[in-house]
């Protein structure tokens, strides 16, 4: 059964999208983080370019219908596994050495 509840469409699938987009944009996440660490209080002004690049990357994924479908398929697979086993699978997080 692949019918989605409101919370699945509006919360759970977007959560997977955010996590995956962060992984896919990890170079821009790292560049922005590094800039912020190096500039301190002036980060709003000095890191504008890195922030824009990061936002553009993330929004590109968030607004891509095929990326949504990919994440929806991943969610449905996780849901099916959970219903079959009763064990919730934890998403593996990418660790960065920042």
pLDDT tens column, 19-69: 999 999 999 999 999 999 998 888 888 999 999 999 999 999 999 999 999
Question: Residue 14 class from Cβ within 10 Å (0-12 exposed, 13-18 middle, 19+ buried)?
Answer: middle
Among all chains, which residue has been given the structure tokens 């099916």? Answer: 80
SS (HEC) of 5-37: CHHHHHHHHHHHHHHHHHHHCHHHHHHHHHHHH
For 67-81, write each residue's pLDDT tens digit: 999 999 999 999 999
Confidence class for position 86, pLDDT limits 50, 70, 90: confident
64: left (phi over 0), alpha (psi -120 to 50) or beta: beta
Q: What is the pLDDT of residue 96?
A: 46
């Amino acid at each position: 059964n692949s019918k989605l509840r409101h919370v699945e469409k509006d919360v759970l699938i977007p959560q997977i999208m955010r996590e995956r987009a962060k992984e896919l944009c990890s170079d821009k996440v790292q560049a922005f983080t590094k800039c912020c660490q190096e500039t301190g209080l002036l980060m709003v002004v000095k890191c504008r370019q890195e922030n824009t690049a990061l936002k553009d990357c993330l929004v590109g994924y968030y607004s891509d219908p095929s990326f949504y479908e990919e994440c929806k398929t991943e969610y449905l697979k996780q849901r099916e596994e959970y219903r079959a086993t009763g064990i919730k699978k934890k998403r593996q997080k990418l660790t960065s050495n920042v």
